[in-house]
Structures are given as C-alpha cells and as structure tokens.
C-alpha cells in the first residue's frame, strides 16, 4: 500500500461490535474476564488497550516496521530505550539534538552508570573515533535540532551493524512521510508523536517502531513494567491526526521551502539553516535520504545582537512564540532559552548553537501571511 492509503487505513478496522468506522476511545482501565485468565486478549489498560493497539499498528505501518509501541511522551519512549542498557555500557549520540534527550541521558542515566559520547555525526568518521568494545547504541537525530544538519543514516547504521551496536533514529523532524530509518538500516525509529504525527498541538506522546521480535518484546515489557503509557483519548486524537499526515507534510515542506528562500534574500538576515537550500551542506544527502526537506527552518540575524533577535520574536503575530513544533500552526522558538536551555552554554557553543538563533516550525497557513508576518517583524 502507498503512504497516503496507509495513513488513512493502516491499523484501523470497523469496530467489531457496532461497525463504527472510527476506532472507539476505549476509556476503560480493566476488562471483564469470563473465568480467571479467560479473556478476549485484554486484561488491564496499562498492558493493552484497543485504541492504543490500533494506533501502534498504524504507526508501525507508516514506518515500514513490524512492531509499534507507544509511550506517554517522546521522552518516555527514549527512557524505555535507555533502560535496555546496564552500567558501563557506552552510547554515542548526535551532539546537536533535542535538549530533553541530552538531559535524560546526562541527568538521569549517566548517574546510573551509562556512559555517553556526544559527537557531530555529519562526519561519520567522528563516530568511529569514539566507538569502543563497550559501545552498545548509536543514537541518531536527523535533521538535527535546531541546526538542521543532515546525518547519513545508512553510513552510521551500517557502521553500527558491523560492530554489533544497536542504532536508533529520532525521526521526529522528518516524520515517516519524508524518511523511513528502518529502510535505511536502523534497528529502532523513535518519534515524539507530539509533533508532526499528532499534528495539531493537542497531545503529548511518543512511539518506537522496530522489526526485531525479541527487542520489541523487551520494549513492550518496559512499556508495561515502567508504565509510561498514553491514554486512549490521546491515542484517538493521534489516529485522527495521522489521516492527514501526508497532505500536512506536503504543505509544511512547500511553505518552508518558499520561506527559506525569502529569508535568504532579506538584508537583515544572516545564516539560514534549511536542508532544502542548495547552499546547505547537507542538501545533496537530504535529497537522497528524504522525500522532502521538512517544515523546520532556523536562522540568525546579521550582527548577532541578542536584543534584535528577541524583538523579532516579540513582534511576530501569525507565528506564535512557543516550544514544540509540527502542528498546523506556525511557531517560533528561541532554542537557547527554551528547548535547549538544559544544554550548558559551552556545549551549545561547541555545537554551533548561537544565543541569537531563531527556530521556525512553519505551519500550513497561507504562505503570503507567513512572509508578511516575518517581513514586519524583521523590518
Ligand atoms: C519534542 C521532541 C522530543 C521529546 O518528545 P516529547 O513528546 O516532548 O517528550 C524528542 N525529540 C525531538 C526531536 C523532539 O522534537
């Protein structure tokens, strides 16, 4: 089945009792058993819930994987992956990555004895340099957040495979519409479902999709044993969001492409980070690895004056200032003080993240209104 058909039909079947075309919100904690241990496959909603099952199947189908496992947030999904490891295990992660991912690694799992190395993966040689016999996982995020660097998924996952190291790709920025990491050799794909998959800024959720049966069993065990599961109402909202993922992504990409070119031509704008621009160092790789360049843009102002960046963000009206991304509405974020504040300033500087960087999640409004809004705010 092609993507658009899967987005609408995968995982969902008419409700067996009524024929309802939409999967009902099974708002229940428990399920009545006929006799002890004799039930219809559902015992308790932390373990299984029919609305969640439908969503997990849909997400697996969209990422071309066998198993989908949903968690209460993107970070709960990351938490589940990190619980696969033991003290002394080493993990290599992208250095330009979601701030919360950096925080859970450094502040929660490092004290438990996991060892992390953060490297610039736009150069696969940098990964090889920190590989050791204790390396157990490589964590890739591409396009990276917020600098939108492109990492060669095939190059890194084949390196991981050759060393028997697990590879995971945070595919939140691309969404399965633009990129399928499992097809490029990754073992697990992780999503903050909160973003493009949900698509309407109304739900916080995470997911993992993978092919390996034994590993899926381990992660489902953690889902149940640690208990960070999403509720049925949230699963319903995401099932609804998925149905328009393909058309939303098409418009996100179209609007962001136009806006990036426009920004590049503004006298007051400095560097523009967007993989769709031919001047972007990862442009050729993105064109090969992705089916579009996505809806995220970051840019700096010439002169690099902090107060000027703040005033642009204060003056935007169609773009709302807020954390998060991937919703139908345009958002603008200041990574240094918002999404990436948990990364120390020196680490941010090392990764090239300036305090004046502005990140845009380009929504699906009319492009003329988005340009006019930025025009009046930048001047
Ligand atoms: C938001 C985000 C996360 C964390 O997901 P939550 O749903 O907020 O817990 C992880 N990775 C990326 C790239 C994100 O944008």
Q: In degrees, to the nearest 5, what angle opens at C-alpha 261 toward C-alphas 256 and 262?
A: 95
- pLDDT digits over 277-322, tens only? 999 999 999 999 999 999 999 999 998 888 999 999 999 999 999 9
Whether residues 215 and 257 fall in one domain: no
CA 326 to ligand 1: nearest atom: 15
pTM of the model: 0.96
Percent of the chain at pLDDT exceeding 90:
89
Tell whether 140 and 44 lie within a shared domain. Answer: yes
* Interval between CA 96 and ligand 1 midpoint (Å): 13
Share of the chain above pLDDT 70, in %: 100
One domain for residues 217 and 257: no
pLDDT at 351 over 80: no
Domain around 59: 3-242
Active site residue 163: no
Q: Using the mean position of ligand 1's atoms as its centre, give its distance from the Cα of residue 324 in Å.
A: 8
CATH of the domain at 282: 3.90.1150.10
For the chain, the farthest-separated pair of C-alpha atoms sits apart, in whole angstroms, at: 74
- Has 170 been annotated as catalytic? yes
Identify whether residues 140 and 94 lie together within a single domain: yes
How many Cα atoms occupy the beta-carbon half-sphere of 200 within 13 Å? 13
The pLDDT assigned to 287 comes to 98
Task: Give the ligand 1 atom nearest the CA of 97.
Answer: 13
**pLDDT given for residue 290 in this prediction:** 98
Number of compact structural domains in the chain: 2
Specify which residues 269 forms β-bridges with.
Answer: 301
**CA of 25 relative to ligand 1 center, distance in Å:** 25
From 71, 169, 172, mutation site for ligand 1 pocket: most ligand atoms within 8 A of C-beta: 172
Q: Which of 242, 258, 288 corresponds to the end of one domain?
A: 242
Give the model confidence (pLDDT) of 68-80 as tens digits: 999 999 999 999 9
From 170, 187, 234, 373, the catalytic residue: 170
Among protein residues, the one with the nearest Cα to ligand 1's atom 7 is: 74
CA–CA separation, 241 and 8 (whole Å):
10
pLDDT at 345 over 90: no
Instruction: Give me the helices (H) in the chain, please.
Output: 3-9, 50-62, 74-82, 99-103, 124-130, 153-162, 175-178, 213-226, 232-242, 245-264, 283-289, 306-315, 345-350, 367-378
Q: Round to whole Å and give the CA distance between 136 and 166.
A: 6
* pLDDT tens per residue, range 143-185: 998 899 999 999 999 999 999 999 999 999 999 999 999 999 9
Answer yes or no: do 353 and 249 share one domain: yes
pLDDT digits (tens, 9 = 90+) for 180-199: 999 999 999 999 999 999 99
Quote the pLDDT of residue 118.
96
Structural contact between residues 215 and 187, judged by C-beta atoms closer than 8 angstroms: yes
Q: Given 242, 270, 293, which residue is the final one in a domain?
A: 242
Please indicate, yes or no, whether residues 238 and 249 belong to a single structural domain of this protein.
Answer: no
Q: Which residues contact 19 (CB under 8 A, 6 or more apart)?
A: none
CA distance 216 to 208: 9
DSSP-derived pairing of the beta strands 90-94 and 115-119: parallel
Å from CA of 16 to ligand 1 middle: 34
Q: What is the pLDDT of residue 145?
A: 87
Would you give the DSSP letter of residue 106?
Answer: I
The whole-chain average pLDDT of the chain stands at 96
Query: Which residue among 6, 52, 71, 98 is the active-site one?
Result: 98
């Amino acid at each position: 089945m092609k993507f658009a058909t899967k987005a609408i039909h995968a995982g969902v079947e008419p409700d067996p009792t009524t024929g309802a075309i939409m999967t009902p919100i099974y708002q229940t904690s428990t399920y009545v058993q006929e006799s002890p241990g004799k039930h219809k496959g559902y015992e308790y909603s932390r373990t299984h819930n029919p609305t969640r099952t439908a969503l997990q199947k849909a997400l697996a189908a969209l990422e071309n994987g066998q198993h989908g496992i949903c968690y209460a947030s993107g970070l709960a999904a990351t938490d589940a992956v990190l619980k696969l490891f033991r003290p002394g295990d080493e993990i290599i992660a992208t250095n330009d990555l979601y701030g919360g991912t950096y925080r859970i690694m450094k502040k929660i799992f490092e004290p438990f004895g996991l060892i992390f190395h953060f490297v610039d993966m736009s150069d696969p040689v940098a990964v090889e340099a920190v590989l050791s016999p204790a390396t157990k996982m490589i964590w890739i995020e591409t396009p990276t957040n917020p600098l939108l660097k492109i990492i060669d998924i095939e190059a890194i996952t084949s390196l991981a495979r050759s060393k028997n190291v697990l590879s995971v790709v945070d595919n939140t920025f691309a969404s399965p519409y633009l990129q399928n990491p499992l097809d490029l050799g990754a073992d697990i794909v992780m999503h903050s479902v909160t973003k493009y998959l949900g698509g309407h800024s109304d739900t916080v959720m995470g997911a993992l999709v993978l092919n390996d049966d034994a590993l899926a069993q381990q992660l489902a065990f953690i889902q149940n044993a640690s208990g960070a599961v999403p509720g049925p109402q949230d699963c319903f909202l995401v099932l609804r969001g998925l149905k328009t993922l393909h058309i939303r992504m098409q418009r996100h990409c179209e609007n962001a492409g136009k806006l990036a070119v426009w920004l590049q031509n503004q006298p007051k704008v400095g560097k523009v980070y967007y993989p769709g621009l031919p001047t972007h160092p990862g442009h050729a790789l993105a064109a090969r690895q992705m089916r579009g360049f996505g809806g995220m843009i970051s840019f700096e102002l010439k002169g690099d004056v902090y107060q000027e960046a703040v005033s642009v963000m204060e003056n935007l009206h169609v773009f709302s200032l807020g954390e998060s991304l991937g919703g139908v509405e345009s958002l603008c974020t200041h990574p240094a003080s918002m999404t990436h504040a948990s990364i120390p300033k020196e680490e941010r500087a090392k990764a090239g993240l300036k305090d004046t960087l502005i990140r845009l999640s380009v929504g699906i409004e009319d492009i003329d209104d988005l340009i006019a809004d930025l025009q009046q705010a930048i001047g």
